[in-house]
Chain A
Amino acid sequence: DAGVIQSPRHEVTEMGQEVTLRCKPISGHDYLFWYRQTMMRGLELLIYFNNNVPIDDSGMPEDRFSAKMPNASFSTLKIQPSEPRDSAVYFCASNTDPEGTYGYTFGSGTRLTVV
């Protein structure tokens, strides 16, 4: 298995532009998580899905952020319009063990820079 695949690895965009981050979870994993990592706030959970359905989006910072999971093998995180304070590394992770004892598998992340 190739693991959790995220694209792009790096994204530089101008303030006000729309940004779309993509994630392919491990096949068979029924939970998908989006995290944001910054020096100031560490790892923050933004939203997670179970069987493609959003379960908890309380971590989404504001309406400029949206996430979708149209099928079991693909998810997107969209920021529109983007702002410099959105600059961070965004991680996608997936999990399947209902007890969570095998832990999450994280992707390598997308480093977003908004200028």
Chain B
Amino acid sequence: QQQVKQSPQSLIVQKGGISIINCAYENTAFDYFPWYQQFPGKGPALLIAIRPDVSEKKEGRFTISFNKSAKQFSLHIMDSQPGDSATYFCAATILLAAGNKLTFGGGTRVLVKP
């Protein structure tokens, strides 16, 4: 059972454009939602994260929007750059539960064209 659904599977955006990736979760006990960025041949790396007590978090060109009632959250990459080309994973976990094991979405491959 996939508890975190991510879309789209891939997207192409022009340099300077906005990339938007959406995720939906089922388990209302989830209380921490990180995003990971993965480059080819590398492991995923933490990009940005949000807790459900805030509706938005911004770090540089990356913004997470969170809608608790809809059980949805999204990543916006503003002014997309070719160096942002990577696979992005949303994830969810229950903080303070043993191990904080992450449940990942299926990933979105982003290609930023120069």
Interface residues of A (CB under 8 A from B): 4, 31, 33, 42-43, 45, 48, 50, 55-56, 91, 93, 95, 98-109
A-B contact pairs, 15 of them (CB 8 A): A31-B100, A42-B105, A43-B104, A45-B102, A56-B98, A93-B43, A95-B100, A99-B95, A99-B96, A100-B93, A100-B100, A101-B95, A103-B49, A108-B41, A108-B43
Report if B52 contacts A (CB, 8 A): no
List residues of B (74-114) whose CB comes within 8 Å of A's CBs.
89, 93, 95-96, 98-107
A50-B98, A103-B34 given as contacts; is B46 within 8 A of A42 (CB)? no
B32 engages A101 (CB within 8 Å): yes
Chain B residues positioned under 8 Å from A99 (CB to CB): 32, 95-96, 100
Chain A residues positioned under 8 Å from B105 (CB to CB): 42
A56 engages B101 (CB within 8 Å): yes
- Work out how many contacts link A and B, with CB atoms closer than 8 A: 63
B32 engages A100 (CB within 8 Å): yes
Interface residue SS majority, chain B: mixed
Interface residue SS majority, chain A: strand
| Binary A-proximity of B16-52 (CB < 8 A = 1, otherwise 0) | 0000000000000000101010000111111001000
Chain A residues positioned under 8 Å from B36 (CB to CB): 103
